[in-house]
Structure 1
Amino acid sequence: MPGANLTRVEAEERAGIVSSPIHYAVELDLTKGPKTFGSRTTLRFDATPGVETFLDIIADRITAITFNGEPIGPAAAYEDNRIALKNLHEHNEVIVEALCRYSNTGEGLHRSVDPSDGNVYLYSQFEVPDARRVYAVFDQPDIKAVFYFTMLAPESWIVTSNMPVASCEATQGATAEGTLGDHAIEGIKRWVFEPTPIMSSYLTAICAGPYAQWHTEYANEDGRTVPMAMYCRQALKDALGKDTDYLFDITKKGFAFYAKTWGVPYPYAKFDQIYVPEYNAGAMENIGMVTIRDSYLFESKVSDALVERRVVTVLHELAHMWFGDLVTMKWWNDLWLNESFAEFMSTLATAEATEWHDSWATFTSGEKSWALNQDQLSTTHPIVAPINDLHDTEVNFDGITYAKGASVLKQLVAYVGREQFFTGINSYLTKHQYGNATLADLLTELEAASGRDLKAWSAQWLEQAGINTIAAEVETAADGTITAMTLRQSAPDEHPVLRAHRLAIGFYDVDNADNAGDSADGGTDDGGTIVRTDRFELDVDGESTEIPQVVGRKRPAFILVNDDDLTYTKLRFDADSLEFAAENLYRFDDALARATIWLSLWDMTRDAEFPAERFADLSLKMLATEHESTTFRYALATLRTTVMHYVAAARADEAAQHAAARLWQLAHDAQPGSDEQFQLVSAYLGYGTEGDVEFATNVQGLLDGSVTLDGLEIDNNLRWAVIHALAVANLIDEAGIDAELAKRDTTENREFAYGARAAHSTPEAKNWAWDQALDNDTLTNSQLEEVIRGFAQANAELAEPYIDRYFQTVDWIWKHKTFHMAENLIGGLYPFYADPAKLVSGGTRWLETHADADRALRHMISANVEASQRTLNVRKYNESL
């Protein structure tokens, strides 16, 4: 891992030494061949005279350093990825010339070669501290500057950056070393870009290559015309070309929604969206030039959940142009100000400005379930996390920072009022534009707009870790009238904070009034859908809250605490409501209500409070009628986890076979060509085992065409999913996989082929995958992900030998791999299917003997081990039933 782990103290000291105006002139030579590129940075800044500071840069070689007109020896000044600057003047100039290295890990300046046509594509990814991989820089968010970028590139390429192009001219006399991909360099152009506004270094960006391109413009609310563009690899131009009008339209709806909601028009000169290969994240909010993983370009059929996720991602990154880019956190402890806000706003915009009106149900099923999972680990942290150094930052791109934070912001809007909330946001953006701000700055504006004292609210919600549970108790008279209702709030012993909640209580009954009474006892009357008949909004605080609003009313079939999912909490329904939901969840007409109830039932299953097999059965029943795609997707995922990990060991095989058979039948019963049919078939492919004759017949039939489902097309990606399933069941060999790849050798299909080879259920295949993952440095990050995914699909017998190997290897991984690669390896190579008791024992020993290991590493190991401990706990509960 790169050295010079910048601490918060160092960052504060450096920010106190250097001051505006700060200007960077960055010149990059992208014509030097496939391994390295030239970097020349001229930096001008003011500083406190006589003191010293340092620049950040990660380079293969520093060739020259000039400091205030004097050359200084790189050997003396450059150490641990830092250049020491001693005896600063009031006005300073530093020139650093270096040879830097392209990455294949998605960090710094990533270089990808498309095997289908030999084209080379470059893109940058600089969050958190990786601008230093490309140029010399004060790489921290609160030292903002103006950047001037110039780049040399092959004449057949286009080059983009944060700002529009100022000039692009052929260059005489430049020398290219070697070739780029399969193409020799015939000529070189110099690209010069307009100076940026004042901005943070991690938001600068560079993309270069023969990208396909589309253009339009937006009539901005401030009267300007904003150029818009989209780019992708040539190999994917048809996939993006069919969607450009839709994606431009979604983006323009986002521009209008945010400008209206916040009262601040889009602030930058242009807005590009570049779909790039082999990307670690979903996307990155570089100012004026968002990079997005090109798996969001769909050559093959995908679930509606993924189509909607693309919309949310586009609007998430657009929201960052204001919140994160225009106003930036001062230090990484306020990362949540960026991510939680963008996640909340993108969901709101998706629900209110696009056709995806059930986006809050999507959020509950997907993002919020992620948050609840991570918030119940020992590694949980406050939304405003303590960030002492960059390593601390790395582990906080998680479900707390994104999903819990967004859920808590939804609660804050309910608490202060929507109009007041956005009035405060307008003041915050206006007052701090082009600068840095803190949580305190945000709360000041929200307090002024709402009249609420938010210090206590912040202390409860943002500065304390953990999640509450709200349980409902209902007393009913013989005639069905409610005589009392109490909400009891509790907190885990590790985080004993009770919070003030603004929430709603919903009454739900069968639509046909004649059936409502028959269903209230938990029966399975199929006489109608279940609809909300009444709703009460109120404040809940402390251990016990009485609900007088419902006293004297007839008890409905179901009482939903946290109706509309306004607050962030675990839910426990009263006994009658729980029984009714378990039998009738599929009949609720509202997608958000179903998602909220389903998440609570899943949470109870994970907490060993609800039988695993009953949860599997209600999930299968729900899948027969559910049409909200993300809820459908997560129901399939939780079903698999339940039957593979949580059912009592003696009944697990039977439960898995039952689930697989039912999924296959549901796929046949589904609407031909529907999203549900596609998801059901895709899920079924994950249930194969060696020797399962029925599975072999079905899946081999899908591949050779002897088994068909009306409306189901076996396109490229689904074909590879079938091949992967055959590999798991040892029904296709390496030669078969190679032959399939030879039919269409693309970036994506090479990744699929790696995954299929690793998925073979043999000791030899798992050993190959393990060695490839750890030792093959030529693998791209995406190829590595597929190898890891294939390795992970191992039964207990195949996984068992890797328990000791895993704990013996994690230290080496942490020492020798970049953070993102280490994160993938430590998470993905953990042998989850091995005996959970042995995994817990091995993990506990490792944690006991590595008390001084980096917090990020311990965080990863702890999360894995606690998942195994949960498996043990839940299995034990189910064995007792």
Structure 2
Amino acid sequence: MSLTHAEARERSALIAVQSYDVLFELDSGRTFRSRSEVTFACRQPGTSTFIELTNATAVTVTLNGERLPAQAYSDQRITLPALTAANTVVVEATLPYVNDGEGMHRFDDPADGATYICAFGGMDATQRIFACFNQPDLKATVHLAVRANTAWSVLANGAFESSASGLTTFSPTPPISPYLFTMCAGPWHSVRFEHAGISFGWHARASLGAQLDRDADELREVTTACFDHYTTIFDEPYAFGPYDQVMVPGLNWGAMESPGCITFRDELLFRGQATDAERGLRAEVIAHEMAHMWFGDLVTMRWWDDSWLSESFADYMGFQVSAAVTEFDAAWLRFSLGLKGFAYRADERRSTHPVAPDPGSVPDVDTAIGIFDSISYGKGNSALRQLVTWLGEDEFLAGVNAYLSQYRFGNASLDDLIDALDTASTRDVRGWAQSWLRTTGFDTLRVGRDGDVPVISREGDRQHRTRIAAYTIDNDRLREVSTESYEISQASLSLPQLAGLAVIPNSHDETFARVLLDPLSWGAVRQGLSTIEDKTVRAVVWSTAFDMVASSELTPTELLDLVAAHLPSESHASIVERVIDRLGGVLSSWIAPDALAQAHRQLASTFDSVLDRASDASILLAATRARVRSASTNDVGMLEDWLRSERTSHGVDVEADLRWRIVGRLAELGAIDEQRIGEEAQRDKSTQGEQGSARALAAQPTAEAKAVAWEALFGRSATDSNRTFEARAKGFWSAEHADLVAPYVGRYLDEAPSLATRSQGVAQQIGDAFPVHAATPETVKQVRTALAAEPPTVLRRIWEDRLDDLERSVRIRQVRR
């Protein structure tokens, strides 16, 4: 059962939770034992409430010394009757390990056979680990003990207390919400250090120990630089004791902000070469999760409608702080070309919602999972960036610090934050919040002309403070004439001082608004994009080009021509990589199957040009990966040569990641068979090898391979972990095999709903396996029919988004010029 907002409000009005005493006995089989002793007060003695526990067997419940009958546990809840003013409930149960990232996740490392067990909370998953009052506004201390293999080390939210005879205990945490709980057990490889009087640690699987040691200096430098910055700008000190960061297998999120023990998906510990953008992303995630120690952990939303108080702030801080204090200073550039574009798309779907939605629109936890999306992250981040631009950083931080201090270890809402910001500023912050945070959609800044004079027309009613750049063409190059900040608060802004010039509104991406250029300005940037000196403006123009395709202002073919003209001359590695990443979506969704071969040929030529001109290692690696993805049957010999020599023709080493990309492409082209893929898997007995082989096997262009892959994905005996499922699904739904997989589109829509009832995580994984390439009117009809059958809430939200995306893709594919 999904907890409703009404139930949560009723329960928080009734009880106050003081503490959890939790014991885990981590068995070597398929289950573990969990004991949870919870003390809580009741404001209305004699009434009843419930505590959550999911998928448990052998359950015993004792309330205030009295054993409750077995029927007290029903529908994943335990009824607690006849409460007194002070209560203690003890729940003991057997619970299953999972491999889907929702609960107590067990992972057996194929590299060395070692076992790792990690408690992944978040939303309503903690009740799959121990009995708890699972809502964000019922905070309590947690005192944890874990009985496990004596050869293992155990990490958790609390500070290490003692370890003897396989029992490890931790000091009680400060008050935290149940969704923030974590525990990680296994033979971790650890790197520890002291900083600012606090114990820090980075931890990874033993088989990734060499990679952790290789990156330890960089990880330490990023961690300490971000920590020093936060403790300088925030009045409240870091509140959660030791600061451990664990690279874990199987986490469904990019990372999780569990206080004192932050977990990251261990793909962020790169096995081989990594690009600057990948390392920059890792720094951004580290800064993002650290921001949560204040936004989300120290002060927590009361209900999930205010999840933006956690995620939008952490996302903004992640980019802002990593750009300011680490070597990865191109964070905002990557944001402009990445997450922000997805936020625009999300804000045009039927599922759009305000950054801070009304509580009534988030009636239960299953619905809440849907607002952890590009609006809460990308758009919320952009709104806060505009707020800081509008207010000034000093006033912004003054309000934020007042908010953090007032609600320390408590819960808060949008109104509470706005009160603090409003007090710190002479601006109308409340009006700003109503306009930016309580409404949907985005404004458009359209360039027009009154004769030679540029006129910026604002379609919408939000106030914007942003820079406008002006250029002239000088010897086939764009030369900047001016870049100035403007307040755009009226329907139009005339710029007579820029007469005759090309102009780019929002040139430094400080606001959230679509930009549409007039023919003069677009013609200039189309001619001279790669000659614009300011890299941020180049990134904004590239992002605008992709947005123009999404809004049918530009065709995919015209976009590929722009890429061919300017990407080979692009000097900034992150721009090259982000453009390449965005092109993947263009190929899978916006180009019809019968045009894919030509698109691949054009891109292959473009990437060859990039490689011929590049000297930067990150550009070489990104372009090599892209060249592999665009390879045709004519390139099979080249790819085989790279595998044999373990080096590309441009001097890039073919390490594990690149090798699996090559193997996967050869499989997709039908150039290698199951035996060859198996040989590669034997060569690389790692998680990457396991997932790479699953993807390659599913990518083979034969009916037999697709049938086997389908059974592994959706059959009765399917056992794939979350990561392997994701890899296999990507291989299965090849856009180039549209005819081959066409019969499975209907089967997917028919069979997915019953599988999606297992958990939120499973529903998301199945939803993410949607065949986005199948952008046809027939598929649109099929999805509408599937939605009419009322699939589970989490899956329904994903399918509604995919329906909108399919309809957009059909429109884009039909545009001809």
CA distance in 2, matches of 1:789, 1:856: 20
Name the amino acid aligned to 1:441.
Answer: D
1:310 to 277, 282, 301: 282
TM-score (normalised: structure 2) = 0.96
Structure 2 counterpart SS, 1:474: strand
Secondary structure at the residue paired with 1:166?
A: strand
Q: Which residue of 1 aligns with 2:382?
A: 407
Give the one of 114, 138, 156 matched to 1:143: 138
Structure 1 segment 400-549 matched on structure 2, within 5 A: 400-477=375-452, 482=453, 485-490=454-459, 498-509=461-472, 515=474, 525-526=476-477, 530=478, 532-542=480-490, 544-547=491-494
Paired residue for 1:856? 794
Once the two structures are TM-superposed, the CA of residue 304 in structure 1 deviates from its matched residue by: 1.7
Quote how far apart the aligned CAs of 1:377 are: 1.3
Query: Partners of 2:330 and 2:382 in 1: how far apart?
Result: 16
Q: Quick one: structure 1 residues 344 and 644, their matched pair in 2 at CA, closer, same or farther if it must change by over 3 Å?
A: closer
Identity %: 30
The aligned residue for residue 192 of structure 1 is 169
Shift of 1:453: 2.2
Contact 1:366-1:630 within 8 A present in 2 as well: no
Q: Displacement of 1:857 after TM fit?
A: 2.8
C-alpha distance in 1 between matches for 2:518 and 2:524? 10
Deviation of 1:560 after TM superposition, in Å, equals: 1.4
CA 34–508 in structure 1, closer or farther in 2 if over 3 Å, else same = farther
Say whether residues 1:877 and 2:811 are aligned partners. Answer: no
Q: Shift of residue 651 of structure 1?
A: 5.0
Aligned length: 811
Q: Tell me if 1:50 matches 2:25.
A: no
CA distance in 2, matches of 1:11, 1:648: 47
Does 1:277 find its partner at 2:249?
yes
Match of 2:755 in 1: 813
C-alpha distance in structure 2 between counterparts of 1:706 and 1:854, whole Å: 47
> Are residue 765 (structure 1) and residue 705 (structure 2) matched?
yes
Superposed, which structure 2 residues align to 1:438-837 within 5 Å?
Answer: 438-477=413-452, 482=453, 485-490=454-459, 498-509=461-472, 515=474, 525-526=476-477, 530=478, 532-542=480-490, 544-547=491-494, 550-553=495-498, 555-556=500-501, 558-642=502-586, 645-647=589-591, 652-671=596-615, 674-688=617-631, 692=633, 694-705=634-645, 708-775=648-715, 776-794=717-735, 795-815=737-757, 817-828=758-769, 830-834=770-774, 836-837=776-777
The normalised TM-score by structure 1 is: 0.89
Aligned-partner SS, 2:163: strand
Q: CA deviation at 1:854?
A: 4.2
The one-character-per-residue Cα deviations of 1:227-261 (angstroms, maximum 9, x if unpaired) are 00111111000001011121111111111111222
Deviation track 1:264-292 (CA, whole Å, cap 9, x = no partner) reads: 33222110000011221111000111001
Change in 2 beyond 3 A, CA 1:706/1:501: closer
Q: CA deviation at 1:369?
A: 1.1
- The CA distance in 2 between the partners of 1:650 and 1:288, in whole Å, is 52
Report the alpha carbon displacement of residue 154 of structure 1 after superposing the two structures with TM.
Answer: 1.2
* CA-based RMSD: 1.8
Structure 1 residues 65-104: aligned runs within 5 Å: 65-74=61-70, 76-104=71-99
Does structure 2 retain, via aligned residues, the 8 Å contact 1:423–1:449? yes
Contact 2:563/2:606 (8 A) holds in 1: no
| Per-residue CA distance 1:54-86 (angstroms, 9 max, x = gap) | 001114314321111111122x10001100001
AA at the equivalent of 2:517: F
How far 1:532 moved relative to its partner? 3.7
Does residue 841 in structure 1 map to residue 784 in structure 2?
no
> 1:238 and 1:564 mapped to 2: Cα distance?
40
Q: Post-superposition shift, 1:681?
A: 1.6
Q: Does structure 1 retain, via aligned residues, the 8 Å contact 2:103–2:119? A: yes
Task: For residue 43 of structure 1, report the CA deviation from its aligned partner.
Answer: 1.1
- Distance in 2 (alpha carbons) for counterparts of 1:668 and 1:476: 44
Structure having the higher Rg: 1
Residue 176 of structure 1 corresponds to none
Matched residue SS, 1:302? coil
Aligned residue for 2:338, secondary structure, equals helix
| Cα drift, residue 509 of structure 1 | 4.1
Residues 525-557 of structure 1: per-residue CA shift (max 9 Å, x gap): 15xxx4543233222235x2223xx3245533x
DSSP 3-state at the match of 1:168: strand
2:240 partner SS: coil
For 1:368 and 1:698, locate their aligned partners in 2 and report how far apart those are by CA, in whole Å: 36
Q: Output the CA distance in 2 between the equivalents of 1:533 and 1:434.
A: 51
Matches of residues 213-228 of structure 1 in structure 2 within 5 Å?
A: 213-219=190-196, 225-228=197-200
Unmatched runs of 5 consecutive residues or more in structure 2? none
Higher mean C-alpha deviation, range 736-745 or range 837-846 = 837-846
CA contact (8 A) 1:799 1:831 kept: no
Q: Structure 1, unaligned stretches of length 5 or more?
A: 171-188, 220-224, 492-497, 519-524
Q: Does 1:12 align with 2:37?
A: no
Match of 1:175 in 2: none
Q: Is 1:668–1:677's contact at 8 Å kept on the other side of the alignment?
A: no
- Classify the secondary structure of the residue corresponding to 1:287: coil
Distance (Å, rounded) in 1 between the aligned partners of 2:181 and 2:283 = 24
Partner of 2:233: 261
**Secondary structure in structure 2 of the residue aligned to 1:381:** coil
Measure, in 1, the Cα distance between the counterparts of 2:134 and 2:369: 15
Instruction: Give secondary structure in 2 for the equivalent of 1:801.
Output: helix
Structure 1 CA distance for aligned equivalents of residues 206 and 587 of structure 2: 43
Instruction: Tell me the CA shift for residue 655 of structure 1.
Output: 3.1
1:473 and 1:286 map into 2 onto residues whose CA distance is 49
Change (3 A) 1:746 1:451: same
User: 1:135 and 1:645, CA in 2 relative to 1: closer, same or farther beyond 3 A?
Assistant: closer
Deviation string, structure 1 residues 346-388 (Cα, Å, up to 9, x no partner):
1111111111222111111111011112111112111113311
Question: Kindly tell me: are residues 265 and 767 of structure 1, through their superposed partners in 2, closer, same or farther at Cα, counting changes over 3 Å?
Answer: same
Check whether the contact 2:338–2:582 (CA below 8 A) recurs between aligned residues. Answer: no
Q: Distance in 1 between matches of 2:587 and 2:731?
A: 20
- Residue equivalent to 1:368: 340
How big is the shift at 1:416?
Answer: 1.6
- What SS does structure 2 have at the residue aligned with 1:560? strand
State the alpha-carbon separation in 2 of the partners of residues 647 and 167 from structure 1: 59
Tell me the amino acid that sits aligned with residue 397 of structure 1.
F
Q: 1:131–1:202: 8 Å Cα contact kept in structure 2?
A: yes
Q: Distance in 2 between matches of 1:58 and 1:777?
A: 22
Change in CA separation of 1:286 and 1:642 when aligned onto 2, cut-off 3 Å: closer
SS of 2:307's equivalent?
helix
Q: Work out the CA distance in 1 between the residues paired with 2:362 and 2:161.
A: 39
What secondary structure, in the 3-state scheme, does the structure 1 residue paired with 2:284 have? helix
Distance in 1 between residues matched to 2:291 and 2:450, nearest whole Å: 46
| Contact 2:712–2:719, Cα closer than 8 Å, also in 1 | no
Q: Distance in 1 between matches of 2:749 and 2:607?
A: 36
- Kindly indicate whether the alpha-carbon contact (under 8 Å) linking 1:827 and 1:864 is maintained by their aligned counterparts in 2: no
Give distance in 2, aligned partners of 1:139 and 1:567.
37
- Whole-angstrom CA distance in 2 between matches of 1:212 and 1:36: 25
3-state SS of paired residue (1:25): strand
Provide closer, same or farther for how the CA distance between residues 273 and 43 of structure 1 changes in structure 2, counting only shifts above 3 A: same
Cα distance, 1:710 vs. partner? 3.3
CA distance in structure 1 between the aligned counterparts of 2:755 and 2:55, rounded to whole angstroms: 22
Query: 300-309 vs 862-871, which deviates more?
Result: 862-871
1:472-528 Cα distance to aligned partner (Å, 9 max, x none): 123345xxxx4xx4322225xxxxxx2222222122346xxxx2xx6xxxxxx15xx
Paired residue type of 2:78 = I
Q: Any conservation in 1 of the 2:646–2:653 contact (CA below 8 Å)?
A: no
Distance in 1 between the 2:647 and 2:174 partners? 59
